[in-house]
Amino acid sequence: MLDETIITRAIIESYTKDFVDHLKVDVIIAGAGPAGLVAAKYLAQSGLKTVLFERKLSFGGGMLGGGIMFNKIVVQDDGRPILDEYKIKLEQFEPNYYVADAIETVAKLTAGAIDAGAKIFNLISVEDVKINEKMEVKGVVVNWTAVEMAKLHVDPVTFKSNCVIDATGHDVEVVKTVLRKIPNSKLNTSTGNIMGELPMNAEIGEKILLETTKEIYPGLYVAGMAANACSGGQRMGPIFGGMLLSGKKVSTLIKEKLLG
Ligand code: 48F
């Protein structure tokens, strides 16, 4: 005998329990692209309660499509140890250029985050930040992506955390919310504002990404392409070592802050 209402109850009760269990966490990450996924693994591995909200149904952000939908990605020597850690298969194409399958990479980065203990919620968009009395970022406000897409007038809900990472990629959405909504807010960039991403230069973009990955506003960190977009770094296309290293770096910065 199979009772459909038991299936329904199992889904609703189990999901609701997960949701409630993650209302107060150490770190919230907006965006499950490569930078967000890597950050989630290293943070969760160190015992920090970590939750990741992804707007779309799928994970991996821009990594899943490789370059012009040829879904292969490239890394160089510096990014290679991270892919090795996840046991992602690499082929040397030329000295210091390795190719990996984008689908395998996204699947393993996602599994890595989950196995380390991070919780991923998909189909949810971060639409605002929660602040404390000192105007520090201490959480996010989220809604179903379907509500956002349909432009329905439905109020969102709030999740609290010690730190938030904006890993939303080129659009740097969480940081934009801070600038728009917190009066006189200044970012940790040379202009105090979002400087915007520069055109393609993969070599400089990859290098500078480790400098631009930082606490950009009290309580709010940037990683991945969002970091270069904030501080005026170059874009770099379908080479991904920088994204992986940026995810790892932001996790180190937050671990230093929260765990000492
Ligand atoms: O864009 P994305 O892959 O960001 P990333 O980790 O990596 C950038 C590379 O893919 C590529 C590149 C490599 O050289 O330049 O572009 O920095 O992933 C960002 C994820 O965030 C989600 C979005 O759907 C994507 O999966 N996202 C964006 N805005 C929101 C969001 C939001 N407001 N709430 C939740 N998720």
Encode pLDDT of 166-176 as tens digits: 999 999 999 99
Give domain status of residue 1, yes or no. Answer: no
List, for residues 175-190, the tens digit of each pLDDT value: 999 999 999 999 999 9
pLDDT of residue 37: 98
Average pLDDT over residues 218-238: 97
Atom of ligand 1 nearest to the CA of 35: 6
The rounded distance, in Å, linking the Cα atoms of 138 and 159 is 9
User: How many whole angstroms from 84 Cα to the centroid of ligand 1?
Assistant: 23
Q: How confident is the model at residue 86 (pLDDT cuts 50, 70, 90)?
A: very high
- Report yes or no: 136 and 221 within 8 Å, Cβ to Cβ: no
Helix, strand and coil content of the chain, in percent to the nearest 5, comes to 40, 25, 30
User: How many whole angstroms from 61 Cα to the centroid of ligand 1?
Assistant: 5
pLDDT of residue 53: 98
If you take atom 1 of ligand 1, which residue's CA is the nearest one? 169
Structurally, how many domains does the chain consist of? Answer: 1
The rounded distance, in Å, linking the Cα atoms of 136 and 44 is 23
Residue 38: which CATH number? Answer: 3.50.50.60
pLDDT of residue 256: 98
What is the domain range of residue 244?
19-68+104-259
The rounded distance, in Å, linking the Cα atoms of 236 and 203 is 7
Which residues, in sequence order, are bridge partners of residue 3? none
Percent residues over pLDDT 70 in the chain: 100
Determine the length of the chain.
Answer: 260
The finding on whether 168 has its CB within 6 A of some atom of ligand 1 is yes
Give domain status of residue 149, yes or no. Answer: yes
If you take atom 15 of ligand 1, which residue's CA is the nearest one? 237
The finding on whether 160 has its CB within 6 A of some atom of ligand 1 is no
Atom of ligand 1 nearest to the CA of 58: 26
The finding on whether 33 has its CB within 6 A of some atom of ligand 1 is yes
Alpha helices in the chain (DSSP H): 4-21, 34-45, 80-85, 102-116, 145-150, 173-181, 202-212, 225-231, 241-259
Atom of ligand 1 nearest to the CA of 227: 17
Instruction: At 107, give phi and psi (nearest 5°).
Output: -60, -45
Average pLDDT over residues 215-235: 98
The finding on whether 224 has its CB within 6 A of some atom of ligand 1 is yes
pLDDT of residue 75: 97
User: How many whole angstroms from 123 Cα to the centroid of ligand 1?
Assistant: 14
pLDDT of residue 78: 95
List, for residues 34-63, the tens digit of each pLDDT value: 999 999 999 999 999 999 999 999 999 999
Residues in contact with 171: Cβ distance below 8 Å, sequence separation at least 6, in sequence order = 226, 229
Give domain status of residue 95, yes or no. Answer: no
The finding on whether 205 has its CB within 6 A of some atom of ligand 1 is no
